[in-house]
Structure 1
């Protein structure tokens, strides 16, 4: 069988000094050198960007790159956390393609970035035969507090648009899934972040009522690789009830 999960590139340890302008992070390496790394995450990174915490960078000697380092991981008190938002799409695609997500087994093909309409794309399209299709939109989740994983960590008009697109596809007869990949190990339950983006939470509830499925998974993560782990229950009723 093919190897499970994704292998990290060679990681360089350091200490986070600060993260700023969303896409920049100053890091002190073990040698004492201070470098500026690319932060591949457009969110606020609440609960996973505390200065002074250990971080791990990858190095890319590409002459076209202005910043040679990329911030990949941070070690928080309760979990190692993956911060690179490119990882969830790659990890979920590989896991689905290998049949490691039981709810998404049985399809013949798994295609990336299918076009929806004339101006938009979603993350995955699973197909079986001519008419059986499932669209999957993947979101990266790093905000976890007191065991509660939340998305989004910043107001997201793009995420809102994806929820509307999925509902339109359900109305056209397709199966649709919102897949939240929690890049850490300390989540017990998933909830929409109503305190950050109430419009997103409202639309997510509307989407579920219209037939869009929710899947939230955490990961197994260490300094060598990251793998899909367990399905996490979700709660759309602000702790009044739980759904799976």
Structure 2
């Protein structure tokens, strides 16, 4: 995924009201950015860090600028726009970069499924092969040198694990795909210290046949490419 038009740099002043962040540009102008990340963003929003933002040409947006990347003072790159996770995963699926998920004929997005009225991120289909349901989760939490998901209690994430478990038990492929969007993360574990129930459901899901995959992205202001498999430690 290439950033078009090019991202612009700024310095983070503060994030507030979950969806907003104030920054100062190199020219000294203060801007308010829209923040598409609803999570805790632990370690991703430290005042003074460098940020990179995009600008929409829509005339109806109240906040035309969007926070895309953080460059921390430790030298790590983080994609804080969680909407980008599905974009880079879709590109990886279409390009057959993820061998475990290659060879399908059709790809659909946001398909309704499950008893709890969920929408699966991607559904892969091909002839007589089993349908493949893929739920994507963006991983940006780095603590003590390890990557974790989630960064806050997620009832929605718990629901997705229940739905995937039922899909696997019914005989189709169910895949939880962690998209690592933090350059400092080298492996991923469930964040039991944050959401013990999610961690428990994840273990149960894998025991029931849910496939747990993890791929890391290369990040830069030029773009994002998902291409490196990582280990998930349960």
Q: What's the counterpart of residue 112 of structure 2?
A: 115
The residue that corresponds to 2:201 in the other structure is 203
Which of 10, 21, 26 is 1:25 aligned to?
Answer: 21
Structure 2: 5+ residue stretches without partners: none
Is the aligned partner of 1:224 residue 2:222? yes
Partners in 2 of 1:130 and 1:230 — Cα distance?
29
Q: Is the 8 A contact 2:114 2:163 kept in 1?
A: no
In 1, Cα distance between equivalents of 2:202 and 2:170: 18
Using the alignment, how far apart are the partners of 1:46 and 1:206 within structure 2? 27
Moved over 2 A (4+): none
Paired position in structure 1 for 2:11: 15
- Aligned Cα root-mean-square deviation (Å): 1.2
Do 2:53 and 2:68's aligned partners in 1 also have CA atoms closer than 8 Å? yes
Quote the Cα distance in structure 1 between the aligned partners of 2:221 and 2:8. Answer: 10
The partner residue of 2:65 within 59, 69, 72 is: 69
Structure 1 pair 230–147 and aligned structure 2 pair: CA distance change class (3 A)? farther
Q: TM-score if structure 2 supplies the norm length? A: 0.95
* 1:32-111 → structure 2 map (5 Å cutoff): 32-76=28-72, 77-111=74-108
Deviations 1:32-85 (A, max 9, x none): 111110001000000111100000111113221000110000001141111111
Match status 1:168 vs 2:166: yes
Shift of 1:147: 2.9
Contact 1:164 1:207 in 2 (8 A): yes
Partner of 1:124: 122
Q: SS of 1:113's equivalent?
A: strand
1:130 is displaced (CA, Å) by: 4.0
5+ residue gaps, structure 1, are 1-5, 237-244
Match of 2:144 among 143, 146, 149: 146
Q: Name the CA distance, whole Å, in 2 between partners of 1:115 and 1:165.
A: 11
Whole-Å separation in 2 of the counterparts to 1:80 and 1:188: 13
Shift of residue 145, structure 1, vs aligned partner: 2.3
